[in-house]
Structure 1
Amino acid sequence: MDHKSPVESTEPVSRPAGWMYKSGSIGKFSTSWYASPRIQLGMVAFVCFLCPGMFNALSGLGGGGKSDPSLADKMNIALYSTFAVVGFFAGTIVNRLGVRLALSFGGIGYTIYSISLLVSEHKYVPGFNIFAGAFLGVCAGLLWAAQGTIMMSYPSEHQKGRYFAWFWAIFNVGACIGSLIPLGQNIHVKENKTVGDGTYIAFIVLMFSGACLALFLCDADKIIRADGSRVILRKHPSWKTEIVGLWETIRSEPWIILLFPMFWSSNWFYTYQQNAINGAYFNTRTKALNGFLYWFAQIVAAVIIGPLLDVERVRRSLRAKIALVALFVLTVVIWGSGYAWQKKYTRDDVNVEIHPEFKGWDWSTKGYVGPMFLYFFYGMYDAIWQGVVYWIMGALGNSGRKLANLAGFYKGLQSAGAAVMWSLDEKKLPFMNEYASNFGLLCGSILVAVPVVFFKIKDSVPVEEELEGTGETLADVLPPGAVESKRTGDEKI
C-alpha cells in the first residue's frame, strides 16, 4: 500500500501568477515560494518564537520573574480561565477571521501581559495585572488555534511530524534566548530576587515585534503545496456555519472526546515544574539557567521525535500505536524518577517566612547536577508529549476547518487544566500533591486515549471524506490533472 499523500507528486506543477508563488534561489539552493507551507510555517514559528516563546522564558523563571509567585499565580488563573473558554471556540473564530489576523491579535496580548508585570514593579496595579492575564487568555486562544491549524493542515500527510519538529525547535529557540536575557542580567545574583526592568523591557519589545510579523502571513486560502494541492477549507464561511461545524466535529466523531483527558493534562505540569521546582528551590541566576536548559531540551526532543513520527517504512496506524506506548513508558520512567527529588522538601521547607535561613540552590551547590538533569528531561518530555498529541490530531484528518476545531478543543481544555492547577498552587497545595496529580493524570489520560489511537487512525485519509460539508470539490484542492487521474483509477486515494 502507498502510504504517501494521495496527491503528492515529484513532478513540477504550475502555480498561479503573482509574486507570492514565485520560487527563487540562493546560490545553488532553490527557495520555496512565499505562499508555500514551508515558508508560512517558518514565519509562524518565528511569531511564536517572539511571543509565547518569550512568555515561556519569563514564566520559566517561576512567578513571572518575581521572587513571590502570588501575583503571577493570580494572573495565570485569569489567563488560563479565559484561554479555556475562548480556546474551545477559537477554531471557529480562526476559520472566520483567518490565521493572519488571529496570530497578530494574539501577539498583542503577550505584549500587554509583560507591560503589566513591568508596571507592577513600580506601582500596585492588581486590576491591570488581572486584566492583562485575562486579555492574554483571549489572545493566546486565537494565536494557538491558528498555529495548530497551520502546523497540522498545511503539510502533506507524510510530513506532519517533521513540520512539528521544525516549528517546535524554532519556537523554543525563542524561549532559550529569552532565558539568556535574565541569565545575562542576573549572572552575579545569588539570591532569589525579582528580575530587573531591563528584562521586562526586552520581552516587551520582542513580543510586539512578533505581533507585527504576523501581519505579513498569508491566509490559508492562498497556500499551495509542492504538489499543487491546496488546504481544504469551507467555501464562504459564516459565523453560523462555523459554530455548527464545531458541533458537527464532535457529533460525527464522538470518540474524539477520549482524547480530551490528554488535552487537559498537556499543560497541567507547567505549574509544578516552574513554581514547585525551579521557582521554589533555586536562586535567580540558577532559575534562568534551568529555564534555558528546559527549553533547549525541547528543541533536542522535537528534532528527534518529529522525523520518527514520519518514518514511512512503518505504516502510520502502527506508528501511532508505537508512539503512544513509548509515551507511556517515558511517563513512568521520567516522572517516576521525579519522586526521588520531590520527597526531599515540602512547600514549608522553602518558605523563607518559616525558614529565613533557606537560600535557594546555586549551580555551584554540591548535588545540583541531579535536579539539573531531571529538569532537562522534564523539558524533553513536554516536547514529546505535545508532539505526539499534535501528530495524533493531524493523523485524524487534513481539513483545515476540522483541524482548526481540534486545535481549539486542544488549547481550550489544555488551558482549563492549567487554570485549575494554577489555582491549586495559589491555594498552596502541597508540592507532593502537585507531583502526584501530574503523574496520575498523564498516565491515566494515555490509557483513555488507547481506543482512538489504536482503532481510529488510518494509514491515509481519503480526500472525499475531508470535503464533505465544505462546499469544495476535488478540483478545488487537487493539483491540475489529479482529478482526471483519480477518475481513471491511475492514482490511489
Structure 2
Amino acid sequence: MSIHKTEGDAETAVVEVEQPPVRTGWRGKYDSALVQMVLVSFVCFCCPGMFNALSGLGGGGKQDATTADNGSVALYSTFAVFGFFGGTICNKLGPRLTLSIGSLGYSLYIGSLYSTVITQTKPRENFVIAAGAILGLCAGMLWTAEGSLMLGYATEKTKGRFTALFWMIFNLGAVIGAAIPLATNWNTGETAAASGSTYIAFLVITLVGACIPFLLTKPSNVVRSDGTRVTVERQSTWKSEFKGLFFVLKSDPWVIFLFPAFMSSNWFYSYQFNSMNGSGYFGIRGRTLNNFLYWLAQIFGSFAIGMFLDSNLTRRTRAYGGWFIAFALTSIIFGGNYAAQTSYTRASVLAEGWAPVTVGDSAYAGRAILYMLNGFYDAVFQTFCYWSIGCLSNDIRKLAMIVGFYKGLQSAGAAITFRLDSLKIPYMTILASSWGVLVAGLLIMAPVLYLRVQNHTVEDVVDAAGDVVPERETKDGEHYAADQKV
C-alpha cells in the first residue's frame, strides 16, 4: 500500500511493508528482538571488535604509526561523508545486506596492514590508505544499520540495556582480539611490532563476521519484548530517501545540538591509542596488555551506565543523571591524562636512550589503570550518546538516519585528530583538544536533554489504516498503539 506523507512543501512516497504472520515455536523465539540484537552484536564482535583490538595496540600494531595514521585519516574522512548517508543506504538495501557489505571492509583493511608486514614498501602503504578509504564507506553502512536495529528493536524501557548488552558483546570481541596479540607477541621482545600471525587471525575472524548478517531475520518478523512488532517503512526511491534525510533535520532540529557531542565521541581515540599506548612510552608487552585491559574495562563501563539508564527513575531524571556522570568522568579521567602527560613528550620518547616502560616496571601499574579508566569512559560516553538518540524516536527508519549523523560526525572528529597525529603535533596539544571538544559537546547537548527528552516519545506514526497521525505519544516503556500488539 502506498502512502503519501507530506512534510512542509515536499511529498514523500512511502511504501508500507506488509506484516507477515507471527511465527511460533523455535522460529518465534528466534524472531525475538533480543536474539536478533545479539546476532547483530556478534557481527560487530567479529569486525569492528577486531579492528578496535588492532587499533588499540597503537599504530595498527606497528612501531611507526605513520602508515596506520594515514590509513585512519582516509578511513574516517570517507566515513564522515558516507556516515551521513548510511541510514539512506540501509533503508534502501535492507539491514542484512548493508551489514554484510559493511563487514567486508574490515577484512580488506586488516589484509592491507598485513601486506605491509610481508613487504614494507611505498605501494603497500598506498594500499593501506586505499583500503582505509573503502573501509570508511563500509563502516558507515555497518554502523548505521547496527544502530538503527539496536535502538529500533528495544522498547523504551530497555534501550539502555540493549545498548549496554551490544557494547559488552562488541567489546568482548575487542577483548578476545586483544588477547591474540598479547599471546602471540609476549615473547617477541619489548620493541617489536605485532607479528604476522596476529593479522592473519584477525582477518579470518572478520570474514566470519561478514557471514553472520545472513542469519538475521527480516525486521518485519521481529517481535519486541513487550509484544509489539517492529514497524518498517521503506522509501520507494533513492530520491525520496535523500529527501527523508533532510526532513529528519527539519522535523527534529534539536538533533543539531547533539552534533558537537557526536563529533567529540571519537576525537580522543588518536590520543588514547597512539599518544598514550602507541607512542613508544610502552614496549609491545605493555601495549598488548594495556589494549586487553582497555577493552575489558569497556564491558564494565557499558554495563554500569546501561543499568542506570534503564533504572526505575523517570526518563528525564536518567537523562540528567547520565549527563552528569559523563561530565564528571570527563573532568576526572582527562585530568588524570593531563597529569600523566606532563612526564613525557613526543620528542622525549623518540630521543636516543629512551627505555620503554615494561610490564614489570614500577611506573607501569598506575599507567595501565589510567588507560583502563579511559576505556571505561569511552563506553560510558558512547552508550549515553546512543541512549540519547533512542529518546528522540522509536521509528527504525528515522533512527537509521540519526545514527548516520552520529557516525559521520564522530568519524570527522577522528579524521582530524589522526591527521594531527600524523603531522607529529605535540601530545599535549592533542590531549587539550580532546578534552575541550568533549566538554563543549556535553554543554551544548544539555539543552536538548532538558527540552527534548520527555518521559514519553512524541512522533508521527502511520496507523493501521495507512493514515499519518501527527504527534502520537508513546509512553515510557510502551510502543505506539495497542493495535500493534501481536
- Tell me the TM-score normalised to structure 1 length: 0.88
Does the 8 Å CA contact 1:87/1:408 hold for their aligned counterparts?
yes
Question: Compared with structure 1, are the counterparts of its residues 379 and 484 closer, same or farther at alpha carbon in structure 2 (3 Å cutoff)?
Answer: closer
Matching of residue 300 in structure 1 with residue 300 in structure 2: yes
Name the counterpart of 2:460.
465
Matching of residue 373 in structure 1 with residue 369 in structure 2: yes
Q: Any idea what SS the aligned residue of 1:301 has?
A: helix
Alpha-carbon displacement from aligned partner over 1:352-379 (angstroms, at most 9, x marks no partner): xxx2211221110112111111101000
Once the two structures are TM-superposed, the CA of residue 32 in structure 1 deviates from its matched residue by: 6.5
Once the two structures are TM-superposed, the CA of residue 303 in structure 1 deviates from its matched residue by: 1.2
Does the 8 Å CA contact 2:229/2:484 hold for their aligned counterparts?
no
Does the 8 Å CA contact 1:161/1:306 hold for their aligned counterparts?
yes
For residues 77 and 466 of structure 1, what CA distance do their matches in structure 2 show? 40
For residues 471 and 429 of structure 1, what CA distance do their matches in structure 2 show? 57
Name the counterpart of 2:268.
269
For residues 310 and 225 of structure 1, what CA distance do their matches in structure 2 show? 16
Does the 8 Å CA contact 1:149/1:403 hold for their aligned counterparts?
yes
Alpha-carbon displacement from aligned partner over 1:244-280 (angstroms, at most 9, x marks no partner): 1100010111121110000000001110001001001
Matching of residue 68 in structure 1 with residue 64 in structure 2: yes
Matching of residue 286 in structure 1 with residue 286 in structure 2: yes
Name the counterpart of 1:129.
128
Equivalent residues in 2 for 1:72-221, closer than 5 Å? 72-123=68-119, 124=121, 125-221=124-220
Does the 8 Å CA contact 1:232/1:401 hold for their aligned counterparts?
no
Equivalent residues in 2 for 1:320-469, closer than 5 Å? 320-351=319-350, 355-462=351-458, 465-467=460-462
Question: Compared with structure 1, are the counterparts of its residues 64 and 32 closer, same or farther at alpha carbon in structure 2 (3 Å cutoff)?
Answer: farther
Once the two structures are TM-superposed, the CA of residue 151 in structure 1 deviates from its matched residue by: 1.1
Give the stretch that moved more between structures: 153-162 or 183-192.
183-192
Question: Compared with structure 1, are the counterparts of its residues 34 and 472 closer, same or farther at alpha carbon in structure 2 (3 Å cutoff)?
Answer: farther
Once the two structures are TM-superposed, the CA of residue 116 in structure 1 deviates from its matched residue by: 0.7
For residues 327 and 102 of structure 2, what CA distance do their matches in structure 1 show? 33
Name the counterpart of 1:227.
226
Q: Letter of the 1:91 partner, please give it.
A: G
Question: Compared with structure 1, are the counterparts of its residues 252 and 16 closer, same or farther at alpha carbon in structure 2 (3 Å cutoff)?
Answer: closer
Question: Compared with structure 1, are the counterparts of its residues 236 and 439 closer, same or farther at alpha carbon in structure 2 (3 Å cutoff)?
Answer: closer
Question: Compared with structure 1, are the counterparts of its residues 466 and 424 closer, same or farther at alpha carbon in structure 2 (3 Å cutoff)?
Answer: farther
Does the 8 Å CA contact 2:263/2:413 hold for their aligned counterparts?
yes
Q: Letter of the 2:48 partner, please give it.
A: P
Does the 8 Å CA contact 1:232/1:466 hold for their aligned counterparts?
no
For residues 393 and 87 of structure 1, what CA distance do their matches in structure 2 show? 15
Q: Letter of the 1:287 partner, please give it.
A: R
Q: Any idea what SS the aligned residue of 1:461 has?
A: strand
For residues 264 and 28 of structure 2, what CA distance do their matches in structure 1 show? 37
For residues 480 and 244 of structure 2, what CA distance do their matches in structure 1 show? 29
Name the counterpart of 1:240.
239
Give the stretch that moved more between structures: 155-164 or 209-218.
209-218
Alpha-carbon displacement from aligned partner over 1:182-213 (angstroms, at most 9, x marks no partner): 11011123422221111110000000000011
Q: Give the unaligned 5+ runs of structure 2.
A: 1-18
Does the 8 Å CA contact 1:309/1:323 hold for their aligned counterparts?
yes
Compute the RMSD of aligned alpha carbons.
2.2
For residues 472 and 436 of structure 1, what CA distance do their matches in structure 2 show? 52
For residues 308 and 28 of structure 2, what CA distance do their matches in structure 1 show? 24
Once the two structures are TM-superposed, the CA of residue 34 in structure 1 deviates from its matched residue by: 1.6
**Alignment length (residue pairs):** 455
Does the 8 Å CA contact 2:20/2:221 hold for their aligned counterparts?
no
Q: Letter of the 1:201 partner, please give it.
A: I
Once the two structures are TM-superposed, the CA of residue 17 in structure 1 deviates from its matched residue by: 5.3
Q: Give the unaligned 5+ runs of structure 1.
A: 1-14, 25-30, 486-493
Does the 8 Å CA contact 2:155/2:479 hold for their aligned counterparts?
no
For residues 346 and 484 of structure 1, what CA distance do their matches in structure 2 show? 59
For residues 232 and 22 of structure 1, what CA distance do their matches in structure 2 show? 19
Q: Letter of the 2:32 partner, please give it.
A: S
Does the 8 Å CA contact 2:156/2:479 hold for their aligned counterparts?
no
Name the counterpart of 2:52.
56
For residues 484 and 41 of structure 1, what CA distance do their matches in structure 2 show? 20
Which structure's residues are more often strand, by fraction? 2
Question: Compared with structure 1, are the counterparts of its residues 214 and 234 closer, same or farther at alpha carbon in structure 2 (3 Å cutoff)?
Answer: same
Question: Compared with structure 1, are the counterparts of its residues 96 and 334 closer, same or farther at alpha carbon in structure 2 (3 Å cutoff)?
Answer: same
For residues 484 and 266 of structure 1, what CA distance do their matches in structure 2 show? 36
For residues 367 and 245 of structure 1, what CA distance do their matches in structure 2 show? 54
Does the 8 Å CA contact 1:228/1:479 hold for their aligned counterparts?
no
Q: Letter of the 1:301 partner, please give it.
A: G
Alpha-carbon displacement from aligned partner over 1:147-187 (angstroms, at most 9, x marks no partner): 10011111110000000111110101100000111110111
Alpha-carbon displacement from aligned partner over 1:396-424 (angstroms, at most 9, x marks no partner): 11000111011000000000110011101
Q: Letter of the 2:368 partner, please give it.
A: M
For residues 237 and 400 of structure 1, what CA distance do their matches in structure 2 show? 16
Give the stretch that moved more between structures: 402-411 or 322-331.
322-331
Once the two structures are TM-superposed, the CA of residue 218 in structure 1 deviates from its matched residue by: 2.2
Does the 8 Å CA contact 2:270/2:417 hold for their aligned counterparts?
yes
Once the two structures are TM-superposed, the CA of residue 473 in structure 1 deviates from its matched residue by: 6.8
For residues 67 and 480 of structure 1, what CA distance do their matches in structure 2 show? 54
Once the two structures are TM-superposed, the CA of residue 323 in structure 1 deviates from its matched residue by: 1.1
Question: Compared with structure 1, are the counterparts of its residues 472 and 131 closer, same or farther at alpha carbon in structure 2 (3 Å cutoff)?
Answer: farther
For residues 244 and 379 of structure 1, what CA distance do their matches in structure 2 show? 38
Q: Any idea what SS the aligned residue of 2:402 has?
A: helix
Give the stretch that moved more between structures: 400-409 or 238-247.
238-247
Alpha-carbon displacement from aligned partner over 1:111-159 (angstroms, at most 9, x marks no partner): 0101111111222222321111000000000000001001111111000
Once the two structures are TM-superposed, the CA of residue 82 in structure 1 deviates from its matched residue by: 0.5
Q: Letter of the 1:296 partner, please give it.
A: L
Alpha-carbon displacement from aligned partner over 1:299-339 (angstroms, at most 9, x marks no partner): 01111111110112x11012111211221111111111211
Once the two structures are TM-superposed, the CA of residue 219 in structure 1 deviates from its matched residue by: 3.1
For residues 466 and 387 of structure 1, what CA distance do their matches in structure 2 show? 26
